[in-house]
Chain A
Amino acid sequence: MSNQLENTVQHHVAHHFDTAEQEFTTAKLGMWIFLVQELLFFGALFVAFFVFKYLYPQMYIEAHHHLSWKMGALNTVFLITSSFTMVMGVRSAQTNQRRATMNYLFATMMLAFCFLVVKYFEYAEKFHHGFLPPHFFSGEGVHQSLPIFFGLYFVMTGLHGIHVLIGIGLIAWLMYRSSKGEFNSEFYTPVEMVGLYWHFVDLVWIFLFPLFYLVG
Chain B
Amino acid sequence: MVHESHAASEGSYLTNPKGWKSWLFTVDHKRIGIMYLLFIVISFALGGFFALALRLQLLSPVKFLFTAKQYNQLFTLHGAIMVFLFIVPSIPASLGNFMLPLMLGAKDVAFPKLNLASFYIYVFGAIFCVFSMISGAADTGWTFYTPYSTTTDTSVISMTLGAFILGFSSILTGVNFIATIHKMRAKGMNWFRMPLFAWSLYATAIIQVLATPVLAITLLLLILERTMGVGIFDSKLGGDPVLFQHFFWFYSHPAVYIMILPAMGVMSELVTTFCRKNVFGYTTMAYSSIAIAIISFLVWGHHLFVSGQSDNAAAIFSILTFLVGIPSAIKVFNWLATMYGGSINLKTPFLYFLSFIVLFCVGGFTGIMLGALSLDVYFHGTYFVVAHFHYVMMGGTVMAFIGGLHYWWPKMFGKMYSEFWGRVACFFIFAGFNMVFFTQFILGAKGMPRRYFNYLDQFQSLHAFSTVGTWVLGLGFLIMAFYLIDSLINGPPAPANPWGGMTLEWQTQSPPIMHNFESAPVVDHDPYDYKRMDG
Tell whether, in the assembled complex, residue A33 and residue B108 are in contact, meaning their CB atoms are under 8 Å apart: no
Q: Which residues of B contact A157 (CB under 8 A)?
A: none
C-alpha spacing A56/B237, complex, angstroms: 11
- B183 CB contacts on chain A under 8 angstroms: 22, 25-26, 29
- Chain B nearest CB from A37 CB (Å) reads 5
User: How far apart sit A34 and B209, CA to CA, in the bound complex (Å)?
Assistant: 8
State in angstroms the CA–CA spacing of A8 and B247 once bound together. 50
- Name B230's contact: one of A38, A144, A151 (CB within 8 Å): A151
Q: Which residue in chain B gives the minimum CB-CB distance to A33?
A: B175
C-alpha spacing A33/B169, complex, angstroms: 15
A130-157 vs B, CB cutoff 8 Å, 1 = contact: the mask equals 0011111100000011011001101100
Residues of A contacting B492 in the complex (Cβ-Cβ under 8 angstroms): none
B182 at the interface (CB under 8 A from A): yes
Interface of B is mostly: helix
B526 at interface, CB cutoff 8 A: no
Please, which residue of chain B has its CB at the minimum distance from the CB of A38? B213
Contact of B213 among A30, A44, A145 (CB under 8 A): A44
- Are A151 and B238 CB-contacts (below 8 A) given A25-B183, A45-B217? no
1/0 per position for B212-253, CB-CB distance to A under 8 A?
111011100100100111111010011110010001001000
Question: A132 to B227, alpha carbons, bound, how many Å?
Answer: 13
CB contact between A37 and one of B175, B234, B238 (< 8 Å): that residue:
B175
| Interface contact A133-B228, CB-CB below 8 Å | yes
Assembly CA distance A56 to B228 (angstroms): 22
Tell me the chain A residues, 91-136 only, with Cβ under 8 Å from chain B: 132-136
Inter-subunit contact B107/A16 (CB<8 Å): yes
Does A57 belong to the interface (CB within 8 Å)?
Answer: no
Q: Is the interface of A mostly helix, strand, loop or mixed?
A: helix
Interface size on B, residues (CB 8 A): 44
Give the residues from 188 to 225 in chain B that come closer than 8 angstroms, CB to CB, to chain A: 209-214, 216-218, 221, 224
Chain A interface residue count, Cβ-Cβ cutoff 8 angstroms? 41
- Of A22, A30, A147, which contacts B237 at CB under 8 A? A147
Task: Tell me if A48 and B229 are in contact (CB < 8 A).
Answer: no
Tell me whether B217 and A41 are in contact (CB under 8 A).
yes
Is the Cβ of A134 less than 8 Å from the Cβ of B230? yes
Beta-carbon nearest neighbor of A148 in chain B: B231
A52 close to B (CB within 8 Å)? yes
Please state if B182 and A29 are interface contacts (CB–CB under 8 Å): yes
In the complex, which residues of chain A have a beta carbon less than 8 angstroms from the beta carbon of B176? 30
A173 to nearest B CB, angstroms? 15
Chain B residues with CB under 8 Å of A27's CB are 111
Residues of A within 8 A of B (CB): 14-16, 18, 22, 25-27, 29-30, 33-34, 36-38, 40-45, 47-48, 51-52, 55-56, 132-137, 144-145, 147-148, 151-152, 154-155
Q: List 9 A-B contacts (CB under 8 A).
A: A16-B112, A18-B520, A26-B110, A26-B183, A29-B178, A44-B218, A48-B247, A135-B228, A151-B229
